[in-house]
A and B are shown apart, each in its own frame.
Chain A
Amino acid sequence: MKVTIDGQSVEVEPGTTILQAARMIGGDLVPPAMCYYSKLKGSGGKCRCCLVEVAKGSDADPRPMPKLMASCVTGCMDGMEVNSKNSERVTEARKSVTEFLLINHPLDCPVCDQAGECNLQDLSFEHGKSETRFIEEKRTFEPENIGDKIQLHMNRCILCQRCTTLADQLTDKRVHGVLNRGDHAQISTCVSAAIDNEFSGNMIDVCPVGALTDKTFRFKSRVWFNKPFNAHRDCDKCCGKTTVWMFGNEIQRVTGRKDQYGEVEEFICNTCRFDKKEVSDWTIEGPKVFNKDSVINQNNYKRPLEKVIIETEKNILLGRDEDRVKISMSGVPLKNSNK
């Protein structure tokens, strides 16, 4: 099947969604996705960030679709033509979804551990504006303790429901879920139970915002001051392939290995994530590759360290030729020598 997105065509298998097709093409036309997660079955469709315009339904039925479609849950049809970044309507819709996501968000990025690797920050950077039209009081939630490994900040949550889907699919007894409804809907265990499961830590990795963060890493460092290395160890519970986030020789945080869309390649167990913080626990493979505009990349830590030689050093010590002439007494012309 052939699908065309923003003028670029790609051949896809039946059952591929528009978002997946866009990711196959890559580049700017890939719609942002806050709730869809390719490794979680049934995720997506909720955040409405990935809306696209279907200008032509298919070769068989070329009518355009009247509404914008969530690209993560809309299947491709043969001959379908889609507008993503090319469409004014789509840009407008993404801007408004961004605004809706931010009106009740605390905007506490300066103290948020997710800052620097937050999908909502990226989305706002791309589609947000610098002023707000929301003058009402923001909605807030009572803090809830869900154990000593994971920190829940409900005020930052965008209700993508990745974490509950993950708990359904990766763990056998889900203890947290979505309670209440409407704009009071919240992620909670209801009874302040500790979420204690060998794979619960993955909730942190799938959370697109700072709602679920690593309690063992809390306020330790800004993510961009850490140096991420891909590492592995023999683990009997998971693949053991992780990214370790170093500060000097200290491993401050362990996460799954994320791809360019922020999705982990494979889920890891809590032992690897929380209990293995010694360098000796890991075989370091090498620095993790990042997008060119990632804040983490600004550290440029990948460049090999070599002795710095400043070529001009010798000459600096010598001073300027002109000055050298001046301080050389013999070179100082006599006042009357010109005359």
Chain B
Amino acid sequence: MEISNIKQEINITEALMTRINELISHYPADKKKSALIPVLHEVQDAHDNWLSVELQQKVAEILDILPIEVYEVVTFYTMFNTKPVAKYMFEFCRTSCCATRGVEDLMDYACSKLGVKEGEITSDGLFQVVGVECLGACGYAPMLQLGDFYHEKLSKDSFDKLIEDCKAEKITLHDK
């Protein structure tokens, strides 16, 4: 089992804790565990988009469950990262509909433009190109997910523009 040795600074702010408690309140009092996935999303978003083992243990503590129950869930769902990721992670959908509309070429273009292979992070830690499975935007292919949002009907030009916008910090990743 691959786990990251990089130390992550854990910072459960008051605002985050308020949000966590709000999510917990959505479930019956004895079913706190149900809030696990929504809570993990919030915690991950507040911690550079990844979850170290220590952070997962912290979540287990908040929800009164065993750490292994958190590990099991985190590794099952693809949206949780157990290793550090780039600030801007381009998640290209590469399933059939997007593939027929040229996502493979676009990914090659993205990789060569950023000088990385699929999955690698650029040396400045800013960008990463990842292939993922169907994101439910088949009619608007090719597309990618960046943070909470979709960028659809992409072309090489619009992708270039997206990179420029990222560099200029004009892109919002999470809607808080």
- When A and B assemble into the complex, do they touch directly, with CB atoms less than 8 Å apart? yes
- A contact residues vs B (CB 8 Å cutoff): 142, 144, 173-181, 186, 188-192
Are A190 and B76 in contact, CB atoms less than 8 angstroms apart?
no
14 contacts between A and B (CB under 8 A): A142-B1, A173-B66, A176-B68, A177-B68, A177-B71, A178-B72, A179-B71, A180-B1, A180-B75, A181-B75, A181-B76, A186-B1, A190-B3, A191-B71
Q: B68 touching A189 by the CB < 8 A rule?
A: yes
B53 within 8 A of A: yes
- B66 & A179 in contact (Cβ 8 Å cutoff): no
Residues of A within 8 A of B66 (CB): 173-175
User: Given A176-B68, A177-B68, A177-B69: A188 and B76 within 8 A (CB)?
Assistant: no
A324, chain B: closest CB distance, angstroms: 79
Count how many pairs of residues, one from A and one from B, have CB atoms less than 8 Å apart in the complex: 41
Report how far A189 CA is from B71 CA in the complex, Å: 9
Residues on the A chain within 8 Å of B67, using CB: 175, 190-191
Query: Does any Cβ of A come within 8 Å of B2's Cβ?
Result: yes
Known: A179-B1, A190-B3, A190-B53. A174 touches B76 (CB 8 A): no
Which secondary structure dominates chain A's binding surface?
Answer: loop
Number of interface residues of B (CB under 8 A): 12
* A192 to B71 alpha-carbon distance, docked (Å): 12
* Chain A, Cβ-Cβ closest to B82: A190
Interface residues of B in 1-20 (CB under 8 A from A): 1-3
CB of A180 within 8 A of CB of B53, answer no
* A179/B53 contact (C-beta < 8 A), A173-B66, A174-B66, A188-B1 known: no
Instruction: Known contacts A190-B68, A191-B53; decide if A144 and B1 are in contact (CB<8 Å).
Output: yes
B67-84, CB < 8 A from A: 67-69, 71-72, 75-76
Tell me which of B68, B69, B72 has the highest count of chain A C-beta atoms within 10 A of its own C-beta: B68
CB distance from A153 to the nearest CB of B (A): 14
Q: Specify which chain A residues have a CB less than 8 angstroms from the CB of B71 in the assembled complex.
A: 177, 179, 190-191
CB distance from A196 to the nearest CB of B (A): 14
Nearest-neighbour CB distance to chain A for B8, whole angstroms, equals 14
A175 to B66: give the CA distance in the assembly, Å: 8
A81, chain B: closest CB distance, angstroms: 39
Complex Cα spacing A180 to B69, Å: 12
A175 touches B68 (CB 8 A): yes
Docked Cα-Cα span, A192 to B67, in Å, equals 13
Residues of the B chain whose Cβ atoms lie less than 8 Å from the Cβ of A179: 1, 71-72, 75-76
Q: How far is the CB of B1 from chain A (nearest CB, A)?
A: 4
* B83 CB to nearest A CB, Å: 13
Give 6 closest A-B pairs by Cβ, nearest first.
A190-B71, A179-B75, A188-B1, A177-B68, A177-B72, A180-B75
**Closest A-chain residue to B70, C-beta based?**
A190
Contacts of A176 in B (CB 8 A): 68
- Best-buried of B1, B2, B67, B75 by chain A (most CB within 10 Å): B1
How far does the alpha carbon of A174 sit from the alpha carbon of B3 in the complex, in Å? 19
Q: Taking CB as reference atom, which chain B residue is nearest A173?
A: B66
Q: Cβ of A174 and Cβ of B68 under 8 Å apart?
A: yes
With A174-B66, A190-B53 already in contact, the answer to whether A142 and B72 are too (CB < 8 A) is: no
Q: Beyond the given A177-B72, A180-B76, A191-B67, could you list 13 further A-B residue pairs with CB under 8 A, ordered by the A residue number?
A: A142-B1, A174-B68, A175-B67, A177-B68, A177-B71, A178-B72, A180-B1, A180-B75, A181-B76, A190-B67, A191-B53, A191-B71, A192-B1
